[in-house]
Structure 1
Amino acid sequence: MSRLTLRPLGAADLPAVLTVQRAAYGEGYQESATVLGRKLELAPQACWLAHAGEEAVGYVLAHPWDDTGAPPLHAPLAALPAAADRGFVHDLAVSPTARGLGVASALFACVRDWSNVAGYRGMRLVALADAVPFWVRHGFSALPAALPAGYGDGACLMERSLHDLQA
């Protein structure tokens, strides 16, 4: 596979994001270009695309958030919380053809660094059941919280501090 490059995600990249999303999740967790595009509109500085050569192989969409749990799936965010004090990783997906190449960790590093530069106290995300071990390796721990519908069995809200930026 070609050399991995990361760059800020733009609106013109949404078709590639949808392609990676479908390859990564199958039919299970498809969100529309409208929903994902709204997150990009609200926080373009927190979204990146990974390429191997000319092929998009991963992406991450994140945005500022607070401690109110998790935003719903399949619904555009109307606005960001006024008292946002965390980065929220909405979605990080990697094409099956690029798994094991460090794409997810590289994309996460972009969001972690963005959250740190923004001065956030921590980060949150909802981990799907099969992704929990990955997020634990990156310093996240589960929070006791009910999730909005659609995240699936075994999904959990997770959080990590930004005090230890080495992990």
Structure 2
Amino acid sequence: MTATDLWRLMTPADLPAVQAAGEIVHPLYPESPAVAAERLMLYPAGCLVAERDGQLLGYAVSHPALLGRPPALDSLLGSLPERPDCLYLHDIALLPTARGLGLGAALVARLLGLAKVQGFPLLALTAVNNSAGYWQRQGFTPHQPDAVLAAKLASYGEDALYLVRAVD
């Protein structure tokens, strides 16, 4: 089984395990369980889990967004924008047991495919936990923040960096 095969669409039944994984991987960036539940309701195609032998290895929560306008940490969207111009990778967490399996690269490939099908020219994300180097190796580049984006990034901490990648 390849790393690509380990990713599948998230279901509401996955939400407790997703919350638990988020608390392990992102303890400094807590979000209410309502955040992932809302994203799953609004854009199920962008919510994925990786699992092997019935054990959660990680998850991804993404949704259509406006470039440079990510949601603040632990905030609900209410709705998706009418004219989104990117697919925003809101939350990605891989548990320590997932390291070395290639799940990150497989996820990026899957989300690039989703963005292409949906007509989004860009993927965007906010890198935290000193992960910017990893994302840059995956083809993402820094996006210069304006004052609005800088304020949003502040909710994620000093090392937060907004990155984008063109959809080929």
* Aligned equivalents of 2:104, 2:22: Cα separation in 1: 13
Query: What displacement does 1:14 show?
Result: 0.5
Q: Which runs of 5+ in 1 are unaligned?
A: none
* Aligned equivalents of 1:143, 1:129: Cα separation in 2: 18
Q: CA RMSD in A?
A: 1.7
- Overall identity of the aligned pairs, in %: 33
List 4+ stretches of structure 1 deviating above 4 A.
none
Matched, 1:103 2:108: no
Q: Which residue of 2 aligns with 1:85?
A: 85
Checking the alignment, whether the CA contact within 8 Å between 1:127 and 1:155 is kept in structure 2 is yes
Matched, 1:15 2:16: yes
- SS for the counterpart of 1:139 is coil
Q: C-alpha deviations, 1:101-149, integer Å up to 9, x for none?
A: 1122222222111111111111111011411011101111111211414
Q: In structure 2, which of residues 156, 161, 164 is the aligned counterpart of residue 159 of structure 1? A: 164
Q: Which residue of 1 aligns with 2:119?
A: 119
* Aligned equivalents of 1:24, 1:83: Cα separation in 2: 32
- SS for the counterpart of 1:70 is coil
Q: Choose between structure 1 and 2: higher helix proportion.
A: 2
**TM-score, structure 1 as length reference:** 0.89
Q: C-alpha deviations, 1:54-96, integer Å up to 9, x for none?
A: 1001110000012242111111111111111211000111001
Matched, 1:58 2:63: no
* Aligned equivalents of 2:24, 2:127: Cα separation in 1: 18
* Aligned equivalents of 2:155, 2:120: Cα separation in 1: 27
- SS for the counterpart of 1:157 is strand
Checking the alignment, whether the CA contact within 8 Å between 1:129 and 1:156 is kept in structure 2 is no
Q: Which runs of 5+ in 2 are unaligned?
A: none
* Aligned equivalents of 2:68, 2:105: Cα separation in 1: 26
